[in-house]
Structure 1
Amino acid sequence: MAGVARFVASSLAPAAQRFAPQAAAGILRQVLEVAIDGYQRFPGAEKVAAKHLSKNSDDPELAVDTVIEQHIRLAGVQGFVTSIGGLITLPVALPANLTGLAIVQARMVAAIAHLRGYDLDDPRVRTAVITCLLGEDGVTDRLKKASLVTSPLAIATAPVFDPELDRQVAGEVVGELIARIGGKRMAITVTRRVPLLGGAVGAGVDGWSTYRIGQYADKSLVRRAPRSIEQ
């Protein structure tokens, strides 16, 4: 397994290095725009949050739970990229599956943030949303290595927006997303000879990573002062 991990890391390093900080930030801006604002038949984060709030008797905590559940199911469905209104055609410089999964996970985190009282138009909150895509282990590891200087909550509630931190986070997240898709492809390749197993592995990997990110966002983005959520 260690040999496989080294092989995956060495294979993905050149791809990750292609993205300069500015390029990575540009890619994630596109991902966030779709996640927050929506695209064609893919509703944005605020609409999703409002829908779940309405279905859960205006209880934001129950709404957070069902938002996470919905996005786990969506991420776990094979071929979901082609089924949510043209995401596969977006001009984002990442593989289609990776782009779609990043958008789904970013929308989930943004919807959680909205339900907890954060302003999704605030660039600090948008940086925090992207940071959550690293997951708890990813953030903890980068804090130890000092490649990330603070937590999603601290980013969202910082006194001012830090453009340099935003670019740093973008680079870390794009590298992480590329590594994940490479690891998933490796797992699918290993199981390809078993009928249906490859698809099940792919669905399971995407669903599990979405669950972990949802749980981390739920824990990290604690509720702010109450404010109205438009229905």
Structure 2
Amino acid sequence: MAGRESVSRLAGRYVVPRLPALAPDLNASFVREALDRAIHGIGPLAPAAVAAERRLRDAEGHARRALDAIVDDHVRYAGAQGLLTSVGGALTAVVTVPTNITGLALIQTRMVSAIAHLRGYDLDDPRVQDAVLACLLGEARVDALVRDRKIPAPPMALATAPAHDPDTHRVLAAEVTAELVAKVGGKRAAVAFTRKVPIVGGVVGMGVDGFDTWRIGDYAGSELRPRARR
């Protein structure tokens, strides 16, 4: 029991508050790299536009069904990596925390990018890329950033702005990084309470990451309204 208690304390009091120290490379540039890989593809993951077109064909041209399939796909991806990176305790966090954050960044940016393509947006347009990043933050955080004048507008308006603003891109990349670190930190705290049954931690991680991905997909689907596809 003493050993288990010490691991729990390490998770709750040491690992979670020091997530940035565990993953020093997780800065704004890592989010931009994840976005680039999501758009252009990496390894077995096809580019976001290719994934979107496949789902549109599967849905026989029905855009709403294709969008739902894209979200379902990525919820499963997020849940699977959430399961794998949440089994184990604080002593494995040095490996699993950065992996979980990086995996979520890639999966969620790919999902939103696929939705944007499906809705008729050009993923090579930096304004659209800003909109993708904004969607990752969710409606409440975006509204707060607009209210505080840290970004000029919500995703739809960013995607169709008259010009691209590099400062907005930098703010969004930094905000997405901080959001991902905070989410994984909160999840690690919850997982720490399941230390007596390690597999339960994996189930918690799967559920949290899957639900968060669904929530982002729902926001992106409602915010990025259809445009004429080229």
TM-score category of the 2 structures, normalised to the smaller one: 0.7 to 0.9
State the Cα distance separating 1:19 from its structure 2 match: 8.4
Moved more, 206-215 or 192-201: 192-201
Query: What residue number does 1:205 align with?
Result: 208
Question: Which protein has the larger Cα radius of gyration, Structure 1 or Structure 2?
Answer: 2
Q: Residue type matched to 2:176 in 1?
A: V
**SS at 1:196 equivalent:** helix
Is the Cα–Cα contact under 8 Å of residues 19 and 171 in structure 1 kept in the other structure?
A: no
What's the CA shift string for 1:93-140, capped at 9, x where partnerless? x81111111100000000000000000000000111011110122212
Structure 1 pair 149/81, CA: closer, same or farther in 2 (3 Å)?
A: farther
Structure 1: which 5+ runs fail to align?
Answer: 1-6, 83-93
- 1:12/1:195 Cα in 2 relative to 1: closer, same or farther (>3 Å)? closer
Residue in 1 that maps onto 2:39: 36
Alignment of 1:39-188 (within 5 A): 39-78=42-81, 95-188=98-191
Count of aligned pairs between the two proteins: 205
Contact 2:81 2:103 in 1 (8 A): no
Cα distance in 1 between the residues matched to 2:71 and 2:125? 22
> Considering only aligned residues, what root-mean-square deviation do their CA atoms show, in Å?
2.6
C-alpha distance in 2, partners of 1:38/1:80?
23
Q: State the shift of 1:169 in Å.
A: 1.0
Q: Structure 1 stretches (4+) deviating beyond 2 angstroms? A: 10-15, 78-82, 140-149
The 1:144–1:51 alpha-carbon spacing in structure 2 relative to 1, beyond 3 Å, is same
Indicate the percent of aligned positions where both proteins have the same amino acid.
47
